[in-house]
Amino acid sequence: MSTIEIRKLTKRFGDFVAVRDADLSVAAGEVVCLLGPSGCGKTTTLRMIAGLERATAGDVVIAGRRMNELSPEKRDVAMVFQFYALYPALTVGQNIAMPLHYEGIGSADVAARVNKVADILHLRDVLDRLPGQVSEGEKQRVAVARAIIRDPNCFLFDEPLSRLDVELRHSMRGQIKAVLSNLSKATVIVTHDQLEALTMADRIAIMRDGLIEQVGSPHDVFAKPANVFVASFIGTPQMNLIQAQFKGYGNGKAKVAFDEQDVDLSVNPAVANLKPGRLTVGIRPRAFTVVSEDTLDTIDAVAELIEPMGAETLIHARTKTGSDIRVVVPRDKRVKTGEALHLVPDPAQTHVFGEDGKAVRA
C-alpha cells in the first residue's frame, strides 16, 4: 500500500529546531498539503520523508516500512522540486527517462513510457530540446513527468507551482490534480499558497515554527480553525481577530467588551465554561452584516478605506479606539469613506479563542 506516516518527527540544525514532533499520516490516494509561512519547516519535513535530510528523532514510515536509515534511492519515492532540478545537459526526453535507467528497463519500453507520460503532460513537441530551451511551464511539466513515469511508493511536491505566473498556476493546479487522482498514491505537497492548498488537497496540515498546528480537510481548517494562527493564516482577506474582555455568558450569548463597547455576541456554547478574562474573537470579513443604527449589539466602526474587488468590496474600518476591522460587502452595497458602519457578525462564523490562543468549541 502506498502510504506515508511520520511519527514524532524532529529535525534540529544545531540549536535551531526546524521540525518538532511532527505527526502525520497520508493514506493511499490521498493528497495532503503542508501549508505554512516561509521557514516553518514544511520543506524540511518533506526532505526528511524523501531521505534527503536525516531525521534527528522520530520515524518515517513509507508503505508500511520504517525508512529512517535508508538513502533516497532506496525509498522509491518521486519528488518534484521547487526549481524543477532538471538535468541541464540532458534533453527533456532523457530527463523524463532518467528514473527508468536505474531500473534497468529495455530502451523500447522506456521510449513507450516516455511518450505516454509526454502525452499526458503535453510535452510531445519538446522531447528533443534541452531544459534551457523550454518555457517555465514546460519545465514544470517535465519535472512532474519525471516523477510520474515510475511507479513509486509516494509523490512529494516541493512548492511545485511557485515559479509559474498566475494563469499557468491555475491550469497546472488542475492538471496536477487530475494526474494525481488517477495514480492513487500517497502525495504530500508543500506550499505557502493557501489557495493552492485549499484547491489541491484532500487534507491540509498547517505548520508554524516547526509545529503542525492543525490537520484537517480544506473545509475544516477554514470553518473550524484550531487556533489563532490557523485562523489568521487561512482565508483572504484575513480573519478579524479582536482582543476582547470576556465578562460572562447567558442565553447563548457571550458578553464581551472591547474598545469601550459592550456587546452580546452569539457564540459557541462551550464559551460558557470560560472564566472571565481576555479572549480573542475571530470574525471573517464576509461574516458581517451591515445593519441600521438602531440595532442592538453591533460593532461600530468608521469606514476608512474602500477597496473594490470586483464582485465584492473590501472595507477597512476603524473602531473608536483605533482597532482595524476588515469587512467584505457585496458590490451593490455602496459605502463611502467616513461613513459609520454598524456590524452584526454571523454567529456560525464567530470564533472564540481562549487566552492560550486555542479555539473554544464544543
In angstroms, the CA 54 to CA 38 distance is: 21
CA distance 275 to 258: 17
Q: Which of 65, 87, 177, 248 binds another protein (CB under 8 A)?
A: 87
Q: Is 78 in the site for another protein (CB under 8 A)?
A: yes
Min dist CB 349 to another protein, Å, is 42
Please state the closest distance from residue 161 (CB atom) to another protein, in A: 16
Nearer to another protein, 80 or 341 (CB): 80
b/e per residue, 77-115, with b = 16+ CB within 10 A? bbbbbbebebeeeebbbbbbbbbbeeeeeeeeebeebbe
Which residues 269-308 are close enough to bind another protein by CB under 8 A?
A: none
CB 296 within 8 A of CB 311: no
Q: What is the DSSP letter of 361?
A: -
**Looking at 79-87, 203-211, 299-307, 343-351, which segment touches another protein (CB under 8 A)?**
79-87
Query: Which 46-75 positions form the footprint of another protein (CB under 8 A)?
Result: 47, 50-52, 71-73
User: For 284-319, b where at least 16 C-beta lie within 10 A, e where not — what string?
Assistant: bbbbbebeeeeeebbbbbebeebeeeeebbbbbbbb
**CA-CA distance, 152 to 267, in Å (whole number)?**
47
Say how many residues touch another protein, by CB under 8 A.
24
**At closest approach, how far in Å is the CB of 48 from another protein?**
13
Cell numbers 496536477: residue: 176
Query: C-beta of 202: minimal distance to another protein in Å?
Result: 23
In the set 15, 16, 38, 102, which binds another protein (CB under 8 A)? Answer: 102
Residue 132, C-alpha cell as written in the block: 534551457
Minimum distance of another protein from residue 60's CB (angstroms)? 14
Chain residues that interact with another protein, rule: CB under 8 A: 47, 50-52, 71-73, 77-79, 81-89, 98-99, 102-103, 146
